[in-house]
């Protein structure tokens, strides 16, 4: 009887959680008319903002992939003094309020700091520029990529790497022929998660680059200027983009089980 009561409690709680997530989204998706959605998706300003969101989000994810993969491997494979501190630093962008992130990065690349002045002298303008948007998106998306890639590397049995090394393979060769292929599904999932998180960023981006407008900034600008009627269609199309990314993530997650260390005898 107690087990049945707990089961019903779990089902009721799960139902409430799903309603809490779905009802506001379904209400927003169903609010704009089809005509408004068609007019929005052919609006050049909306198309530019959606393309800018995709372009900068994918660019940030690729940067996280290139520079974050070695760190993810190191965290998965090595034990060293201060490792927990490094992991805490990596996770900081998740817990820091995003306007604080924007202000911190602005203080770094603005003209009032020597690094910002140096960039300006070399013709690299990050404030009000897509490069600045990519910088912000990389900052907020990096923890999501690192966590997924680290779990992927940790799931690869070390004995397989030891076998490759014993046969004369270098660490570089072992990584690209054994470790990386076996962890590729988690790495790809991390890239998609990073990209989705980057595309959804608003608070930090609006401080670094209000213009050119990515989709969340355009949606906010239209809400402030015209209200729900003109901001909701933009939000719907942004949801569609994010939904496609997460469907891709789920498809990537499907597939054969990765090799496990339990097979060792």
Give the per-residue pLDDT at 253: 61
Give the per-residue pLDDT at 111: 83
Give the per-residue pLDDT at 7: 87
**Computed from CA positions of residues 222, 226, 228, 229, in that sequence, does the dihedral angle turn out positive or negative?**
negative
End-to-end alpha carbon distance in the chain: 44
Gap between the Cα atoms of 80 and 91, Å rounded: 18
Structure tokens at 215: 């989709």
Q: How many CB atoms lie within 10 A of CB 33?
A: 11
Distances (CA, A) of 239 to 4, 117, 233, 245: 38, 38, 10, 10
Give the per-residue pLDDT at 141: 95
Q: Which DSSP symbol is given to 35?
A: H
Closest C-alpha among 136, 120, 109 to residue 52: 136
What is this structure's pTM? 0.87
Structure tokens at 178: 């054994």
| E-only strand ranges, 79-188 | none
The helix (run of H) or strand (run of E) holding residue 75 is helix 44-77
Give the per-residue pLDDT at 260: 42
| 43-254 CATH, one of 3.20.20.70, 3.30.1330.60, 1.10.1530.10, 1.10.3720.10 | 1.10.3720.10
Give the per-residue pLDDT at 262: 43
Give the per-residue pLDDT at 264: 41
Per-residue pLDDT of the chain (265 residues; tens, 9 = 90+): 556 788 889 999 999 999 999 998 888 888 888 898 899 889 999 999 999 999 999 999 999 999 999 999 999 998 889 999 999 999 999 999 989 999 999 999 988 888 888 988 888 889 999 999 999 999 999 999 999 999 999 999 999 999 998 999 899 999 999 999 999 999 998 998 899 899 989 999 999 999 999 999 999 999 998 888 888 899 899 888 888 877 876 776 665 544 444 444 3
Per the listing, tokens 């789920």 go with 250
Structure tokens at 5: 């009561």
Gap between the Cα atoms of 2 and 195, Å rounded: 44
Gap between the Cα atoms of 147 and 89, Å rounded: 12
């Amino acid at each position: 009887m107690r087990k049945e009561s707990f089961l019903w409690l779990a089902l009721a709680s799960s139902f409430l959680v799903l309603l809490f997530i779905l009802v506001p989204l379904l209400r927003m998706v169903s609010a704009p008319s089809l005509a408004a959605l068609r007019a929005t998706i052919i609006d050049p300003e909306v198309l530019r903002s959606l393309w800018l969101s995709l372009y900068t989000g994918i660019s940030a994810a690729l940067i996280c992939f290139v520079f974050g993969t070695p760190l993810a491997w190191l965290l998965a494979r090595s034990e060293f003094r201060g490792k927990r501190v490094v992991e805490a630093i990596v996770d900081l962008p998740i817990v820091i309020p995003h306007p604080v992130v924007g202000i911190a990065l602005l203080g770094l690349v603005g003209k009032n700091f020597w690094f910002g002045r140096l960039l300006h002298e070399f013709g690299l303008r990050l404030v009000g520029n897509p490069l600045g948007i990519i910088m912000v998106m990389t900052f907020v998306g990096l923890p999501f990529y690192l966590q997924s890639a680290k779990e992927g590397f940790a799931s690869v049995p070390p004995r397989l790497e030891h076998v490759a090394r014993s046969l004369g393979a270098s660490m570089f060769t072992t990584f690209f022929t054994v470790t990386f292929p076996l962890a590729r599904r988690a790495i790809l999932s991390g890239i998609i998660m990073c990209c989705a998180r980057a595309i959804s960023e608003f608070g930090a981006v609006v401080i670094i680059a209000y213009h050119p407008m990515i989709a969340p900034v355009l949606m906010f600008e239209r809400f402030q200027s015209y209200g729900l009627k003109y901001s909701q269609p933009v939000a719907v199309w942004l949801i569609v983009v994010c939904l496609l990314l997460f469907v891709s993530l789920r498809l990537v997650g499907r597939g054969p089980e990765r090799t496990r260390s339990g097979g060792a005898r």
